Structure 1
Amino acid sequence: MKVLQQCIYFPPEVGGLESHAWYLCRELVRMGDEVTMVTSLSQAGLPREEVVEGVRVLRRWMPARTPAGWIAHTSVTFPAFLRHARHADVMHAQTFASAPPGMLAKRLYGRPLVLTLHTSHFLRLAAQPRWQPILRRIIRAADWLLAASTEIRDVALGLYPHPRAEALTNGVDTTMFAPGPPALAPSAARRVIVPRRLFEKNGVEYLVRALPLVRERMDVEAILVGDGPERAKLEALADSLGVRDAITFLGARPNTELPGLLASAEVAVFPSLMEATSVAALEAMSCGLPVAASRVGGLPEIVDETVGTLFEPANPRDLAERLVALLERDDLEERGRRARERVVANWSVRRLAERHREIYRTLVDERQR
């Protein structure tokens, strides 16, 4: 099949959506499909067109990493998208903001359109009355609606009762993200890792606020992998709470470094305030780490007490109590093994790609009848 994808961000950008889009495109190519991705020219020096492991990538101008910038970017992708849509078998918009070119191509050429709703940004907009008619129109235009969590699916169905809607959790490269040697030297302290971009919605502030409570019970250090606008605020907060010496800010790291960093910790912590299904949490589990996560969004769909623990969001005391209890358990390694087994069984990129191909083939066959 010829599959035309569109996603605002794509590697070398780092993030859950970016990883999902890349894994899916790469696996589809490995399974014999022809895949083209239309995305943004999000970093200086990136080529406008290239082929990466068989995936043809077309990058177009984006003025800013803001909603206005996303709209401007999508508007300039119409010519490239429509040119390739004429020859595609199926189109797939990764996020609602990427859908308009596919909506027009569907009207012009009759190609089926798949839409995936990924992020908590959709949940925020879906709660605003002025955005609801726009989102309803986008959802209605899709021939098949996918959502990264049951919460997102249910919110979307509340806007429009789509007859073909399903929750399809993002996948993980379980070969790359696997138990292996640590990248960091051993520490005398218990070490946890927080592979999160430093945005308010990711709730890293509450991990910082929980650390003084954890340190009353045990010696612990936190490795923060990711960057973002909250960094200066978090560093100042750590100073004010007297835990700056217990936190290492590593900044953003490429995906290739993450398995070794994850292997350097005992537990991965995800203190999110909003979440779809966290690819980062699945990657940590795939590396054999137990996960401590807030009880929001899609996180309870992948994490439970057999592979980690859940705590109340925005609650440093509950986070601290649950994290200490998890670190004190004598079956920590067994929970990590179960975490990896769960990801391999349910959320590998191969299983993800196979389900997408089933959906694509159904739509293509229906069109050809």
Structure 2
Amino acid sequence: MAENGKQRILMVSDFFYPNFGGVENHIYYLSQCLIKLGHKVVVMTHAYSDRTGVRYMTGSLKVYYVPWKPFLMQNTLPTFYGTLPIIRTILIREKISVVHGHQAFSTLCHEALMHARTMGFKVVFTDHSLYGFADVGSIHMNKVLQFTLADVSQAICVSHTSKENTVLRSGLPPAKVFVIPNAVDTTMFKPAPERLSNDEIVIVVVSRLVYRKGADLLVEVIPEVCRLHPNVRFVIGGDGPKRVRLEEMREKHSLQDRVDMLGAVPHAKVRSVLISGHIFLNSSLTEAFCIAILEAASCGLLTVSTRVGGVPEVLPDDMVVLAEPDPGDMVQAITKAINMLPHIDPQTMHLRMKRLYSWHDVARRTEIVYEHALRCPSQPLLDRLSRYLTCGAWAGKLFFVVMLIDFILWRVLQVWQPDGDIEVVPEIDPASFHRVEMSLNGEAKEKT
């Protein structure tokens, strides 16, 4: 269905705007850059409160907010086959050539990839997270991932550490997995116009205040840093269940004038928080990549981070100080970073980030993955189903039955509503869409 090498791509995930996070930003910026390269991109996600139906975003990006409500951590309830009719309709209406699912946590992503493979579409999966191998939740998720990736065309990981983790968890051949890092919008994240004075050192934390993000480490690190460095002040942006512990720490050590708790920070205001500081502190206990570090470095902040997951791959050694996820080691790393500050030039750091990370580069590399996926030969049903039998003695048989039923239901849908009865959406010229968008923006400005 591709024309002149230009693809029609369906991005699928439970995580998208108006929710904010690393996965949401990745999908949005990647989609915008792919559109600029001439591809058509459509996003499919679940409904958010009153946001349902079809919406258009900047650059003619079309979003299907399907009428499924999240039930846990922004995830939809698993239905296995409940999403088949609507996914089939979208694939045919938009003449999709590649289905690209994001995030192993996303129920909608797994179901979309399953149905797309049943219908013979090429599918690509991007993993944004790291998982363990011991706890019950990780074991369950690893088995789900093994099922989803058993018949995937190609996969993408955001770091080499993430690739190794995904290959071990899913059994996917390493040759099928590409490493394409995240990027940062350097036009949005710029340093402050004037360099901040080093008389008072401001350490910024912008993160969800949850266990995985190391909020408990902050409770132990902050009082010790304040004791060792009287000229240090902390600014903490974010919300979550661990916020209470941080507030209790602030009260216990009488640090109300040295620890500012901002609460949840909208993404549009993250830059204004970052440029108020000198050092960015990331205390995550697990991280596949961490876009927040890129945003901070683009704003000219020196980063102190825990040495976990793919974090050591993100920045050059002279732009980050790494520490073990231990309070004592983190305090030493912060002290080292404070001593490095006189040698840090925010503007130079910003220019380096522009050269290192670009969403346009990510989009061009993703294009190559799509080309590899489209070159994968189509296989008969029995050959495809046999792959699921290798997923375990009992799980393999279960996966085989699940996919066989999915195939039968798809055939029933084809008889009940033939493909030809589904109306194909008319083409919209991105240039004309841009002209309408500019006109509406102009009218809005006149009214204000």
CA distance in 1, matches of 2:183, 2:367: 14
- 1:113, distance to aligned residue in structure 2 (A): 0.4
Determine if the alignment matches structure 1 residue 288 to structure 2 residue 277.
no
- The reply on whether 1:48 has 2:53 as its aligned counterpart is yes
Decide which of 258, 262, 268 is 1:256's aligned counterpart: 268
Specify the alignment match of 1:221 in structure 2: 233
Write the distance in 2 (CA, Å) between the matches of 1:123 and 1:89.
Answer: 34
Secondary structure of the residue aligned to 1:93 is strand
Farther off after superposition, 289-298 or 73-82: 73-82
What is aligned with 1:70?
76
Would you say the 8 A contact 1:62–1:73 is kept in 2?
no
Counterpart AA for 1:35: V
After TM superposition, the structure 1 = structure 2 runs for residues 205-354 of structure 1, keeping only pairs within 5 Å, are 205-218=216-229, 219-313=231-325, 315-334=326-345, 336-337=346-347, 339-354=349-364
Q: 1:100 to 1:72 in 2, by over 3 A?
A: closer
CA distance in 1, matches of 2:309, 2:290: 9
Q: Find the residue that maps to 1:276 and give its secondary structure.
A: coil
In structure 2, what is the equivalent of residue 190 of structure 1? 201
User: What's the counterpart of residue 141 of structure 1?
Assistant: 151
Bigger mean CA deviation after superposition, 303-312 or 73-82: 73-82
Give the secondary-structure state (helix, strand or coil) at the position aligned to 1:29: helix
- Distance of 1:288 and 1:74 partners within structure 2: 46
Quote the offset at 1:114 in angstroms: 0.3
| Residue 88 in structure 1 maps to residue 96 in structure 2 | yes
AA matched with 2:261: F
Match 2:117 to one of 106, 131, 141: 106
2:131–2:165 CA contact under 8 A, matched in 1:
no
Of 234-243 and 30-39, the range deviating more from structure 2: 234-243
Q: Which residue of 1 aligns with 2:180?
A: 168
SS where residue 8 of structure 1 aligns? coil
Distance 2:46 2:134 in 1: 23
Deviation (angstroms), 1:339? 4.3
> Which digits, 9 at most, give the CA deviation of each residue in 1:173-218, with x for residues without a partner?
1211222448xx9896310111111111101332232122212232
How far apart are the structure 2 equivalents of 1:243 and 1:149?
A: 38
Distance 2:132 2:30 in 1: 21
Contact 2:236 2:262 (C-alpha < 8 Å) held by counterparts: yes
Report the CA distance shift for 1:138/1:339 in structure 2 as closer, same or farther (over 3 A). Answer: farther
Local SS of the residue matching 1:102: helix
Q: Partner amino acid for 1:59?
A: Y
Cross-structure match for 2:19: 13
Larger Rg: 2
* 1:270–1:292 CA contact under 8 A, matched in 2: yes
Which residue of 2 is the match for residue 27 of structure 1?
33
Instruction: Give secondary structure in 1 for the equivalent of 2:70.
Output: coil
Report the Cα distance in structure 2 between the residues aligned to 1:124 and 1:298, rounded to whole angstroms.
20
Give SS of 1:244's match. Answer: coil
2:373 is the counterpart of 1:363: yes
For 1:161 and 1:121, locate their aligned partners in 2 and report how far apart those are by CA, in whole Å: 15
| Partner amino acid, structure 1, of 2:110 | A
Residue in structure 1 matched with residue 422 of structure 2 by the alignment: none
Structure 2 CA distance, aligned partners of 1:137 and 1:367?
A: 20
Which 5+ residue runs of structure 1 have no aligned equivalent? Answer: none
Contact kept, 8 Å, 1:99 with 1:115, in 2: the verdict is: no
Q: What's the counterpart of residue 393 of structure 2?
A: none
Contact 1:303 1:310 in 2 (8 A): no
Q: CA deviation at 1:58?
A: 1.1
1:124 shift after superposition: 7.6
- Amino acid in the other structure paired with 1:238: R
Deviations 1:148-183 (A, max 9, x none): 22222112212314231122211211211222448x
CA contact (8 A) 1:303 1:309 kept: no
- Aligned-pair identity in percent equals 24
Instruction: Report if aligned partners of 1:3, 1:89 keep a CA contact under 8 Å in 2.
Output: yes
Aligned partners of 2:189 and 2:298 also within 8 Å:
yes
Q: For 2:300 and 2:256, how far apart are their aligned partners in 1?
A: 28
- Return the letter of the residue paired with 2:223: P
Q: 1:325 to 1:358 in 2, by over 3 A?
A: same
Q: Partners in 1 of 2:205 and 2:364 — Cα distance? A: 31
Q: CA deviation at 1:270?
A: 0.3
8 Å contact from structure 1 (residues 85, 111) kept in 2: no
Instruction: Give CA-to-partner distance per residue, 1:249-298, whole Å, 9 cap, x none.
Output: 21222222122221111011101111110011111112221110000011
Q: Secondary structure at the match of 2:297?
A: helix
* Paired AA for residue 247 in structure 2: E
Q: CA separation in 2, counterparts of 1:338 and 1:65?
A: 43
SS at 2:28's partner residue? helix
- Pair 1:364–1:248, CA change in 2 (3 A): same
Compute the RMSD of aligned alpha carbons: 2.6
Structure 2 vs 1, CA of residues 270 and 62 (structure 1 numbering), >3 Å: closer, same or farther?
A: same
For residue 157 of structure 1, what is the aligned residue in structure 2?
Answer: 167
Work out the CA distance in 2 between the residues paired with 1:337 and 1:74: 50
